[in-house]
Structure 1
Amino acid sequence: WNRMLVRLDQLSEHLNKPNLWDDPVNAGKLSREHGFLMGKMKEVTSFQQELLENIDMLKLAREENDYMLEE
């Protein structure tokens, strides 16, 4: 994950250079790699968010179960 973030930072630096499109082949390659990594990052972030939501739901279910057992 950390290596991907570092690589995204590097790619962003390259993509923001004014002379990026002086070499269109390399620019396209960098742009595609950046897009690919951004997509992967979004997938991981989405999965992480879903996991956290499921953990919260499990905690609530346990609390509800404990409450029902006390009655």
Structure 2
Amino acid sequence: MKKIVSIAVFAVGFGALAGCTNDPQINAVTGGLIGAAAGSKIGSGSGRTAAMLGGAALGTAAGGNARTN
């Protein structure tokens, strides 16, 4: 249940913050930070670092490609 809530928070937070700017660099940084935070909540034990890095990478990619109109 905790993982599902973390993923939902990531999705909502990323959507809200990425929509605030048209600058892909700011969106990438925002996505990376939110992804790392979500990864830290999802991962546990020795896998937490890998989950944080994976979340940061996915968040950065998603944020950098986010387009607002």
Classify the TM-score, shorter chain.
Answer: 0.3 to 0.5
TM-score (norm 2): 0.36
Q: Which structure has more RCO (C-alpha within 8 Å, separation ≥ 6)?
A: 2
TM-score (norm 1): 0.35
